[in-house]
Amino acid sequence: MSMRRFRIFALAALVGLSSFTASASWQGTWLYYDDEGVLVDSWTAGCRELDGRWGVETDNKVFVQGCRASS
């Protein structure tokens, strides 16, 4: 394999890996809490059938990365 072909292959592998990493980091759920710490909103994105939102958005929020089956 020539050096040029190796560089192209290495660049393609690097782009593919970074693309996978970027898309995986957007999978998760934002949880919104009121001033008393009560859960008042949830927004799930990047998890296909689990995607959705309910409740009232607040400034007090936490992000949980990854997709989980709903309980």
Per-residue pLDDT tens for 14-27? Answer: 776 665 555 556 78
Evaluate whether 4 touches 11 at the Cβ level (below 8 Å). no
1: Cβ contacts below 8 Å, ≥ 6 apart = 9
**Helix segments in the chain, DSSP class H:** 3-25
CA atoms within 13 A on the CB side of 8: 5
- pLDDT computed for residue 61 by the predictor: 94
Point out which residues pair with 61 in neighbouring strands.
32
Three-class DSSP category at 21: helix
pLDDT digits (tens, 9 = 90+) for 36-49: 999 999 999 988 88
